[in-house]
Amino acid sequence: MTTIDAGVAQLVELHVANVVVAGSSPVSRSVHEESPVRPCGPTGFFASIIASRFMNKKLIAKSQNHFGSTVPGLPFLSYPGALLFAVFLVGCGAGSGEPEHTIIPLPASVEWTVADTFHFTEETRILFDSTDTEAERIGEFLSGLIGNSTETMPAVEAYSTDVADGGIYLTREGASSSLGSEGYELTVTGSQVIVRAMEPAGLFYGVQTIRHLLPPVVEYTAAYPRPLFLPGVHITDQPRFQWRGTMLDVARHFLPLHDVKRFIDLAALYKLNRLHLHLSDDQGWRVEIPGWPNLTEHGGSTEVGGGVGGYYSTDEYTELVEYAQERFVTVVPEIDMPGHTNAALASYAEFNCDGIARDLYIGTNVGFSTLCVDKDITYEFLDDVIREISSRTPGPYFHVGGDEVEELSEEEYITFIERMQSIVNSHGKRMIGWDEIALADLQVGSVVQLWRPYWPSDETEDMDSAQAALRVEFEAGILRAVDAGATVVLSPADRLYLDMKYDTSTVLGLTWAGIPDERGSYDWKISDKFSSLPEGAIAGVEAPLWSETLGTLEDFEYMAFPRLAGVAELGWTSASLREWEEYRMRLGAQSARWTVLGLNFRRSPLIPWEVGPSEH
């Protein structure tokens, strides 16, 4: 038995007895019974239909890549699928208070058509407009989600005449301009499914919503229950902000390529569209730069605590960027400068003002390192770095860091940042940096990433005069940058830093910015916290995940989830639609999908999880 089979078997043991045996379970209801409410939301809806089809049916085993049938023309449920059937049933009880649906982030408009149900059959086709290669590619993604072999994956075909019954149509024809570049319209009827969007990104996000409407078991490639259904619905949706991101600190603890790809997939599931990669710091340099081999050979050879480190070759970095781009995630590369540079200072002596290479560093202190800003070699080197990375990164941004610089005067710092701005622009990119860069004269199009929790608030009145003045000065600096034409990405550490502990018992993480649990990171309004910041100046939100205390992908996942799902909704959904009590129900329903995906998420006591034991 595989690990995931064993895990799902445990779910059966934990939950099925209480759900299937109980006479009050909604699975005993006829799916043809007229009712204004779907049993247990979409989860119970799928459970009831599948139960009606498969109760008393013979179950047979299958290999991962072959479907058989006990009845001609009727797909079957395999043994692993029988175990995963529990995923449909968990949480379905009388008066369970299920959410209307389990889509995260919450769409702008959802209208159910109770009488309609779209049935996937062997004749189901995914259609695209003949000249739209992006729609074809997105269709292939959807086909691979629905099936797991040539025999079970719907054909992806160019649209010719009318959309036939049973078809799924991905089109940019006839889409409303109000959807913008990332919005979509999804219509599910009994005969067809249509996703309309202005741009490919919108089609992709429409498909991700279909993914959320499908049962979580589709994420498990070893077995699929048949048939699959989509409830009748009409969804119109578009994001609030253009920047909805997360950051991975691969400098302090390195993550190999396949781990970052998995994180990209998880981000795309929740319609996040920015992956900020922190590629260098005091503890390691993580990307190959032609002409400067010692950066990775020496500077990339360790990490916090003395591990072996690692780095991405130019080919691996290119592969990573392309992988993200295929999922409509823009990679934002960061080379932190002029501070947080000990790995570079250890690799090349000439970057130091005294000409002496520094020792490699495996601790977690900050502020002690800086490039020698008076040497020409420093700028020759940085020009090479920015050019090489920019040439492999199609996105419009280059992140220069700029935070926690303690070894330069303010004048030296400002001069350096403005010079970096010119170099970044010369390579066709827009500069982004941590909020300290607001000290410099920023050009139109630059981006300030606000991270320090210094914005004035009602609590400012209770602070001493020096602290209150610091906050007023901080606000004024950000607003001055906005007046100059910069935009702001919000990453307030007390709300969105994913490396902060969930509570005082959390083993991983830090506490310097606070202890934002799942509610703390979700249940706040940007317009309240940053009332003086114009809405039009806010590019969006990003949740950084620093890795001082994280060593493995499992650690990264645990600190990110479930909070990252809330950040995704914060960035996508209008503030007027978000409500904590309703959201926590949809969040709890994610546990079924996350369990099938093998995600190492925190089972917070604040959330009514459908699958898996609570930690408390």
Looking at the predicted structure, is the pLDDT value of residue 386 above 60? Answer: yes
The band of 459, judged by pLDDT with boundaries at 50, 70 and 90, is low
pLDDT at residue 505, as a whole number:
96
244-259 burial, b if ≥16 CB within 10 A, otherwise e?
bbbbbbbbbbbbeeeb
pLDDT of 158 above 90? yes
Residue 615 has pLDDT above 60, yes or no: no
> Is the model's pLDDT at 175 over the cut of 70?
yes
Assign 97 a pLDDT band (cuts: 50, 70, 90): low
DSSP 284-333: EE-B--TT-THHHHTTTS--GGG-----B-HHHHHHHHHHHHHTT-EEEE
* Among 206, 336, 215, 356, CA closest to 283: 336
- Dihedral angle sign, alpha carbons of residues 177, 182, 187, 193: positive
Task: Name which of 53-67, 139-153, 407-421 the model is least confident about.
Answer: 53-67
Q: According to the 3-state scheme, what is the secondary structure of 533-567?
A: CCHHHEEEEEEEECCCCCCCHHHHHHHHCCHHHHH
Task: Tell me: pLDDT of 43 over 60.
Answer: no
- pLDDT of residue 366 exceeding 80, the answer is yes
Query: Is pLDDT of 39 > 90?
Result: no
CA distances from 568 to 161, 242, 448, 498, 529 (A): 38, 12, 20, 13, 18
Write out the CATH class of domain 243-572+579-597.
alpha beta
Q: How far is CA 565 from CA 51, 266, 295, 375, 587, in A?
A: 30, 9, 35, 45, 8
Residues of the chain within CATH 3.20.20.80 domain(s) are: 243-572+579-597
Cα-to-chain-centroid distance, residue 114: 31
Q: Is 353 exposed, middle or buried (0-12, 13-18, 19+ CB in 10 A)?
A: middle
Tokens of 606: 């604040």
Tokens of 166: 């049973």
Q: Are 62 and 223 in contact (CB under 8 A)?
A: yes
Q: Which residue has the higher pLDDT, 336 or 227?
A: 336
* Active site (catalytic) residues: 404
- The tally of CA atoms less than 13 A away on the side-chain side of residue 475 is 17
Q: Give just the sign of the alpha carbon dihedral 224, 225, 230, 235.
A: negative
Q: What is the pLDDT of residue 67?
A: 27
- 83-105: average pLDDT: 60
Distances (CA, A) of 350 to 10, 50, 298, 342, 367: 59, 68, 15, 13, 20
AA identity, residue 386: I
Residue 148: the pLDDT is 77
Output the average pLDDT for the chain.
Answer: 86
Question: Cβ contacts of residue 37 below 8 Å, gap of 6+?
Answer: none
Looking at the predicted structure, is the pLDDT value of residue 532 above 90?
yes
More confident residue, 153 or 499: 499
Q: Using an 8 Å Cβ cutoff, are 203 and 138 in contact?
A: yes
Over 470-504, what HEC string results?
HHHHHHHHHHHHHHCCCEEEECCHHHHCCCECCCC
Per-residue DSSP letter, 163: P
Question: Which residues in the chain are classed under CATH 3.30.379.10?
Answer: 3-237
Report yes or no: 334 and 401 within 8 Å, Cβ to Cβ: yes
User: Sorting pLDDT into bands at 50, 70 and 90, what band is 611?
Assistant: low
Superfamily grouping for domain 3-237: Chitobiase/beta-hexosaminidase domain 2-like (3.30.379.10)
Reported confidence tier of residue 222, pLDDT bands at 50, 70, 90: confident
Predicted local distance difference test score (pLDDT) of residue 149: 78
Distance CA(527)–CA(336), nearest Å, equals 30
pLDDT of amino acid 584: 97
Helix (H, G, I), strand (E, B) or coil at 118: strand
